[in-house]
Amino acid sequence: MLQESIIQYLVSNIEPIRDLNGDKSYRCSVRLKDDLQLPCVVMKNSSSMLDHVVDAFRDLRREGISDSSAGHQFEQYLAMLRTYVLGGNRISWHHIAGIGPSAHAIPMEKIRQIKTEPNMTWIAFNGVMDDGHSFAFGTPFATEFFEMPKGYDASRIVEITPLADRSAHFYREKTYFECYIDDLP
């Protein structure tokens, strides 16, 4: 798939979200050229990520920390480099053969309904489905994608309510991949 085709599909069909840096990204599923299906992928603008990396390294240099620093400072430099280069699960856009909506991406309108308590380390809520059934969802932090009950996808959630039963089975956050694309708006 051409990069332009991916961008066109995302902008036309996928609801954008904002990440922790305030950057726009898109949650989707992709099929790779070897037919591997990845149900949870976040597409992000590569320029935005590069800007964050450059800013972080400039901050380190201002503090006198660089690749030629000694001891603890050099370890800080390596830790930063390791985070940006080796951290996360990534795929390259040129491996993508197909793209579609993710069955695990709860619509942002519903995500905004989640009420959290200050200083809580666990986000828990009930997702009420279009047939009236309610399921418990929980995550320590990530709300990009969630496991879904059998026979349901995230688009069927019609309401988010406070968690009623703290002993319920929780559908948890799902691991996802990131894909960086040039010129993604």
Asked, for residue 183, whether it belongs to a domain, the answer is: no
Report which residue type is found at 125. F
SS (H, E, C) 103-119: CCCCCHHHHCCCCCCCC
Q: Please tell me the total count of domains within the chain.
A: 2
User: Domain limits at 119?
Assistant: 108-174
71 with 123, same domain? no
Q: Do residues 153 and 103 lie in contact, with contact meaning Cβ atoms separated by under 8 Å?
A: yes
- pTM of the model as a whole: 0.84
How far apart CA 93 and CA 48 sit, in angstroms, is: 16
- How many Cβ atoms sit within 10 Å of the Cβ of residue 40? 21
Asked, for residue 93, whether it belongs to a domain, the answer is: yes
75 with 132, same domain? no
* Eight-state DSSP code of residue 174: -
123 with 96, same domain? no
Residue 93: name the closest of 30, 35, 145, 156 by CA: 30
Asked, for residue 185, whether it belongs to a domain, the answer is: no
Instruction: Convert the pLDDT of each residue in 1-14 to its tens digit.
Output: 899 999 999 999 99
Asked, for residue 179, whether it belongs to a domain, the answer is: no
Averaged pLDDT, 74-86: 72
Residue ending a domain, among 67, 101, 135, is: 101
Asked, for residue 181, whether it belongs to a domain, the answer is: no
- Give me the pLDDT at residue 79, please: 77
* Eight-state DSSP code of residue 95: G
